[in-house]
Amino acid sequence: MKRQSQPGFPYHLGIGNLQDVATKSDRVCVLNILGGESRQVTPTSHAFSGGNVVFGTSPGRAGQVLRTSSGDIPVYNNVREGIDAGHGFNVGVVYLPPSGVRDGVAELVRVNDALEKIIIITEKVAVHDAREVRAMAQSNSVDVIGGNCLGVADSWNQVRLGGALGGDHPEEALTKGSVAIFSNSGGFTTTIAQYLATEGWGTTTLISSGKDVYIHYSARDFAHAFQADDRSKAAVLYVEPGGYYERGIDFGKPAIACVVGRWKSKLTRAVGHAGAMAGSGDRAEDKERWFMEAFEVPELFTPNNQVVSAKGAVVTNIAHIPAALTAVMRLNSIAPDFSSRGSLALKPWIADDKGLALPAELALAPTEAPNPYNAQIGALSQQIGAVIARQTMKDTSGASKMDPKTQVTSVHGHSVLDMAMEPLEAIFALPLVHEIANENDRVMLDIAVAAEVNLTGDPILAATDAAREAGNAPNTIMAVAAGIVGPKRIDRALACTGVLIDLFAHSGLLEGHDEAFDSSSVQLNDKHRGLFAATPEEADDPRPQAILDGVKARGGKSAFLAYLRGMGTQLNRDGLLAALALTIAWAPLQRKRISRLTAETLPWYLRLYGVMIGASIPSQNHQPGSLYGIPRAERFSHWTMADLCFLALTGKKPTNGETLPLQLLIGLLISNGPGAISAQGAKGAVAADGPQTPSRVQINKAMMGFLTHCGFSHGGNGFEGIAFLLEQFKGSGLSDPSDPNHGLDLQAMAHRFATQYKADKRQAKDLGQDVRALPGVHHPVFKGKPVNVDPREQFIAAFLEERGEYNVFHAYYRELVKALYDVGASPYIFCVNVDAIIAALLLALFWKDYEAGTMRDHDLEQAAFNVFLYGRMIGAAAEIDDHVNRGRNMDTRTPASQCHFVV
Amino acid sequence: MEITGMLHGATLLKHVDFPATEVLGPGATNDQIQDLLTRYGQVFVKPVFRGGVGKKGKAGLVGRATNLETALAEKERLYFVEHRHGNAIAKAHGVTFEAGVPAEHEVYFSITDDSRFRAPTMTITHQGGVDIEELDDTEIATVPFDALTGLKAFVVANALTDIKAPRELISPLVQHLPKLWELVHNYGMTTLELNPIRMRPGRGARLNPIACDFKGGFDRDDPRVARLGLPDQIFAADVSPFEQEVNQLRTHQGQSDVFVINDKGTILAPTFGGGANSLVTEVLGESAIISSDFGGNPPYEKMKSVASICYRHFLAQTNVLFIIGGKSNNTDIFETFRGMGDALREHFSAHGPTPLFIVVGRGGPNLVRGMGNLAETLDSLGLPYRFFGFDSAISEVVNYAKDVDAWMQAGGREEIGRTLGVAQSALGGRT
């Protein structure tokens, strides 16, 4: 059927008026209606337009329907079946994949005589097919819109055809007004409509033209229909480089052209829209010129240079369209359609600066989003702390990672080497809060842990005594103690933490140390008040007051302690522990660095730290109010974690500088990644409890998992290096290992040993026996070069050297590796490994006691093991907390198919 | 996707039996060149550019030789010659030796899809061998023809008559030129230009058209191009490993071409929508690392793969990860943001943290859900961010991202690096 074409056009153009582009009477057939994109878009279009889709096709799926809120749309195998079933339509919408588009168009034009318009949504249609589509449509007098477009819409008729203009909520973008939009960009079609509303302009017809080489419904076609449309007082065009579609057009009414893409002339290839390739004479600059000539303006419009005529203006930024339109319309004495809606100023909806001090122009505070987004964002902001997706965590950690090249492990981004440089109290909370503690937080941690170490009167002491007497290793003794710190022993502290989090969550408190924070709006009810108050049985407990005094003495600040002090009642230990812990956790929680779960369980870890260190101190040294004779007040008000660990190991108060080697040792031992046996034990314990129900995970049992997965080979082997050094230095007359003038000829000692070692080695070889391995020498990764170094050993050695610290044992090791090579016992110079420096530091720590006879071999072995446990408990806490937050129930098990049976 | 020159042009023309000048490739031996010289009297030595370059700036890039010595000297001069036009630099990878075809007449012929007619269009003149822009309109015929029936002999005959072409040209051109439509239409071409076609006298003084230069554009969205069996590297004109990798994921469901704008840039901007792509790249200028359009509702897996590739190649140098688009109509924000966020998390897991500031400007379905999900990921990675909705002007958001980049370069990068525990030496990027 030959339809009427518009007069004056050398080709067929059916649409003569923008009012006819998308009308209430249009009836639509959608090809590939059940395709992924159509399934999302068509139901909204159908419902918005009052149910205009009569049927869709999807070969082989006849009989199915596409459900929409305005009723089901029937699906047929092909167009003919739909028509035979009595459905008439005048608009075909093509959602077919690119290779099917041409055939779809052929089907539509051949099968349906009543067809007037085809809208092609598909992108990346081959030019070959576009050519033929154009030819077919022309010879059948059908208008085509697209391809690679989002269809058309009419704000007056409240109809959209084809694509997704206006998204899920077309009514938001399609506001009735007087401006017609024609855009090469689908996304910008509705973006421009939304921008226009900020100056009070609504829309008539919106056309997403697509930007393929073939723009089947072009700017010229649009201009013709625009002139005939009485509703449209002005037009906005968004155009990109490529093609001559916009040259020499008379719009007859005011128009704004936005031409974008000057940068594309720098490129030689098509970018973004397929047809937007800069050719000759159709660059962005050329198009700007065409429009400037059409509108009779000498320059581009910018906010600072508002060049307009009554005919129009040319802009190069879509944000300038509304102002340009208003200026042009003013010259035509036409007022906006309605009062301004919103503005285009920068309005952050969601922001988190992670505590960075941004300059004011960047630190824009979030503003309220429009409806309904504000309510959705409000719901999000109720969320406190980070939300972490669960996954299988077998052999996987979100906390620790060992670099296979350097063998250096890091925990939450901090390498053990860096952590070894920090005071212990700065890193004990790191596994939980993911940050190195600041001065104030260190105060909180020192006191919180110190308050748990003295176990006088606690059945734990009896249990650890029994365990010790039974000949258990230090890890087992610690495990016994941890086992007793079960859920009921921590219930109240955790409940207190939960209450404080709820109370302060949306109070505006940003830092836990902010005592100046006005908490007058934070109200504690009676039930919760009872949680923090001392019970009659606790009335005589001196520790809560000692804790408060300790904080005061150290100048510690805590918004939570300040708040609890304001209650005016005697507080209990658990409430104070909760306040101390939350002071540390608050800022990371607010910054969403950690989850609420982590913040809430922090008191449990702090109590466990204290009890586990306490358990390594024999029971006779725990007395009421004092530990090894050191009074509580002194420990609470001055002592650091390192002091406490030193005391636990040596029974002595450290003198100046004595804790440094201990700090280094503990730092180095924190973690060896999730593959370490101790980490596996901790993770297995968590997995077995089921982290998907985190309240059931027994953190103390997970600590036992770590402890039971240490032993004489893993953790206790620190003594091997010490034993080796003792062998070398026994009877040497060494009095002070830190004195460089020790008077020993280390080179000769090393040479002597190396010579003997070489002989032993040869003999062992002759006998077919294994050669004795030297602890602290050589490493499977750092080997094979003429001179080898373990970067960890090197790092610590450099640190000690810088501080002028000397260690004779370490110096001996360095001589030894050279001597081994010199005598031919090693093929190259082996590295001194990190175990050597650990042994050297440990032995130096205890040498004087050992020489004095107050410590024996057994004591040294116990002490070395305990140092390992102190360090590794930090790493274990990191794995436990990570697994509780991320893991799935029983995720560490190995499928039977991957297990092996041997005989 | 373009090819220029006769090295491959002659092969393509063979598909439709269109006569072409004899051509030797870069590997031609001295004997072969001498043989060509002996038979034709002269050869043209031309550099080979992968993917082809425009004609502008090509002056001096063609050598003419009548003896072997000159031919070899020209080969040495042109083998690695550079062609510059504006910002685009192309380096030659070899030369061709093309037989000189003595002729009285040179014809210009092209077929392309012309937006003025929205149809395949033939342009022809018998005054070829020069830039046709230099000719008078009356000497050139530009004739659209029906794509369904193709370029017919009568269309060529009419055009030649209109421009008053010498009558001895008409018959041979009418006979041969329609074949070229078959090449264009059936092998996924968008443009074919032969200039010049030299009219060489043959038997009985009948003139034969011989194509002496070739320029072709190919449609990367058309699978018919594969029928030509062209080696992939022909189109690999200075394609970076990143471009090659990321564009393998190009399908009709999201993602147009992705290009590297400045491989030393500091803003990595996954952009959604062709319009946004134009605007963002224009405003970002040299700060932008890539130009991209990931719109078109890519599914989660694809978005994640594309983001992973972008991160792997460029995250280490990036100061601002800038996720930007208008108010999407059908691209699911939750799915795309989840894809990009998860890829970021995996990248950090595998390669360690890198200092980043994330700026987002977006609208569309599931917007707040998407923002919430991304925020959770960024929180867990300890990265600062600021998300703008669709009610902020997109150009203002782009300017904001530039301001953040400037702050990052002025010390912000180190500051974020410190909070992430990234060692100074590992900070990388441009600060």
Please write the tens of the pLDDT for every residue from B338-389. Answer: 999 989 988 987 888 999 999 999 998 889 999 999 998 898 888 999 999 9
Q: Using one digit for the tens of pLDDT, what is the confidence trace for A698-710? A: 999 999 999 999 9
Residue in chain A lying closest to B148 (CA): A132
Among A178-192, A223-237, A384-398, the minimum mean pLDDT is found in A384-398
Interchain contact A185–B (C-beta under 8 A): yes
| Residue with tokens 């993770």, as numbered in its chain | A683
Q: Does B295 touch chain A (CB under 8 A)?
A: yes
Question: Among residues of chain B, what percentage have pLDDT more than 90?
Answer: 49
Closest partner residue to B400 (CB to CB) among A130, A270, A346 is: A346
CB contact A266 to B (< 8 Å): yes
Residue A554 has pLDDT above 50, yes or no: yes
Mutate to test the interface with A, among B84, B283, B330, B347 (most CBs of A within 10 A): B330
Question: B395-423: per-residue pLDDT in tens?
Answer: 899 999 999 999 999 999 999 998 887 76
Beta bridge partners of A41: none
> Best residue in B1, B89, B115, B272 to probe A by mutation, most A CBs within 10 Å?
B115
pLDDT of residue A471: 93
Strand blocks (E) in A586-738: 622-623, 626-627, 630-631
Give yes or no for B121 touching A (CB within 8 A): no
Confidence at residue B229, expressed as pLDDT on a 0 to 100 scale: 83
Instruction: Tell me if B392 and A134 make a contact (CB, 8 A cut-off).
Output: no
Give tens-digit pLDDT for A605-654: 999 999 999 999 999 999 999 999 999 999 999 999 999 999 999 898 99
Instruction: Decide if B275 and A318 are in contact by the 8 Å CB cutoff.
Output: yes
* Confidence label for A412 from pLDDT (cuts 50, 70 and 90): confident
Q: Are B157 and B170 in contact (CB under 8 A)?
A: yes
> Is the pLDDT at A130 greater than 90, yes or no?
yes
* pLDDT level of residue A167 (50, 70, 90 thresholds): confident
Say yes or no to pLDDT of A15 above 60. Answer: yes
A40-A41-A45-A47 Cα dihedral, nearest 10 degrees: 10
B166: closest CA of chain A, how far (Å): 30
C-alpha B7/C-alpha B19 separation (Å) is 14
SS3 A709: coil
pLDDT by residue (tens digit) across A857-892? 888 888 889 999 999 999 999 999 999 999 999 999
The distance of A723 to chain B (nearest Cα, Å) reads: 36
Tell me, what's the pLDDT at A272? 35
Report the chain A residue with the minimal C-alpha distance to residue B380: A593
A303/B contact by beta carbon, under 8 A: no
Q: Does A593 touch chain B (CB under 8 A)?
A: yes
H or E element at residue A763? helix A746-767
pLDDT band at A273; cut points 50, 70, 90: very low
A160 lies within 8 A of chain B by CB: no
User: pLDDT higher for B242 or A196?
Assistant: A196
pLDDT at B258: 79
DSSP A534: P
pLDDT digit string, tens, across residues A211-258: 889 999 999 999 999 999 999 999 999 998 888 999 999 999 999 999
A102 inside 8 A of chain B by CB? no
User: Is the predicted pLDDT of residue A268 greater than 50, yes or no?
Assistant: no
Q: Which of helix, strand or coil describes residue B127?
A: strand
Instruction: Please name the member of A127, A130, A240 whose beta carbon is closest to the beta carbon of B278.
Output: A240
pLDDT band at A365 (very low <50, low <70, confident <90, very high): very high
A97 CB neighbours in chain B (<8 A) are 252
| Phi, psi at A715, each rounded to 5° | 115, -50
Q: What Å distances lie between residue B395 and A195, B102, B248, CA to CA?
A: 12, 58, 30
Lowest mean pLDDT among A219-223, A376-380, A540-544, B108-112: A376-380
Lowest mean pLDDT: which of A839-848, A861-870, B58-67, B235-244? B235-244
Q: What is the pLDDT of residues A29-83, one digit of tens each?
A: 999 999 988 998 999 999 999 999 999 999 999 999 999 999 999 999 999 999 9
What is the rounded average pLDDT for all residues in chain A?
92
Residues 370-389 (B) with a CB less than 8 A from some CB of A: 371-372, 375-376, 378-380, 382-389
Q: Contact A413/B422, CB-based, under 8 Å? A: yes
d(CA A189, CA A208): 6
The predicted pLDDT at position A301 comes to 97
Q: What is the pLDDT of residue A271?
A: 37
In A734-833, where does DSSP find H-type helix?
746-767, 791-802, 808-822
Task: Check residue A341 and give its pLDDT.
Answer: 87
**CB–CB of A260 and B329 under 8 A?**
no
Size of interface A-B (CB pairs under 8 A): 320
**pLDDT of A260 higher than 50:** yes
CA-based nearest residue to A119, from A152, A141, A166, A156: A152
Q: Over the stretch B86-100, which tens digit does the pLDDT of each residue have?
A: 656 677 888 999 998
Chain A residues whose CB is inside 8 A of the B113 CB are: 127, 130-131, 213-214
Q: Which of B415, B396, B425, B408 is nearest to B287 (CA)?
A: B408
Q: Do B329 and A150 touch (CB under 8 A)?
A: yes
Residue-level pLDDT at B255: 55
Cα B147 to Cα B144: distance, rounded to the nearest angstrom: 9
Looking at beta carbons, which residues of chain B come within 8 Å of A406? none
Given this model, what pLDDT does residue B263 score?
Answer: 87
Reduce the DSSP state of residue A189 to 3 states and report it.
helix
Residue A600: pLDDT band (50, 70, 90) is very high
The average pLDDT across B53-70 equals 76
Residue B198, classed as helix, strand or coil, is strand
- The answer to whether the Cβ–Cβ distance between B416 and A354 falls below 8 Å is yes
Tell me the percentage of chain A whose pLDDT exceeds 70: 98
pLDDT score for B163:
94
Task: Give B215→chain A minimum CA distance, Å.
Answer: 14
Burial A475-501 (b: 16+ CB within 10 A, else e): bbbbbbbbbbbeeebbebbbbbbbbbb
Average pLDDT over residues A826-832: 93
Tell me what percent of the residues of chain A surpass a pLDDT of 90: 73
Token pair, residue B225, equals: 């191009």
**Hey, are the CB atoms on A187 and B273 less than 8 Å from each other?**
yes
List, for residues A435-465, the tens digit of each pLDDT value: 889 999 999 999 999 999 999 999 999 999 9
ipTM of the complex: 0.84
Nearest Cβ partner for A186 among B116, B329, B380: B329
Give the model's pLDDT for residue A276: 34
User: Which site among A12, A41, A185, A266 would you substitute to test the B interface, given the most B Cβ atoms closer than 10 Å to its Cβ?
Assistant: A185
Query: pLDDT tens across A742-784, in order?
Result: 999 999 999 999 999 999 988 888 888 877 788 889 888 889 9
Closest partner CB to A40 (pick from B114, B293, B330): B330
Q: How high is the pLDDT of residue B299? A: 80
User: How do residues B97-120 score in pLDDT, each as one tens digit?
Assistant: 999 888 889 999 999 999 889 999
Contact A211 B274 (CB under 8 A): yes
Within 8 A of B396 by CB-CB distance, chain A residues are 319, 344-346
A348/B118 CB distance under 8 A? no
Mean pLDDT of A568-588: 95
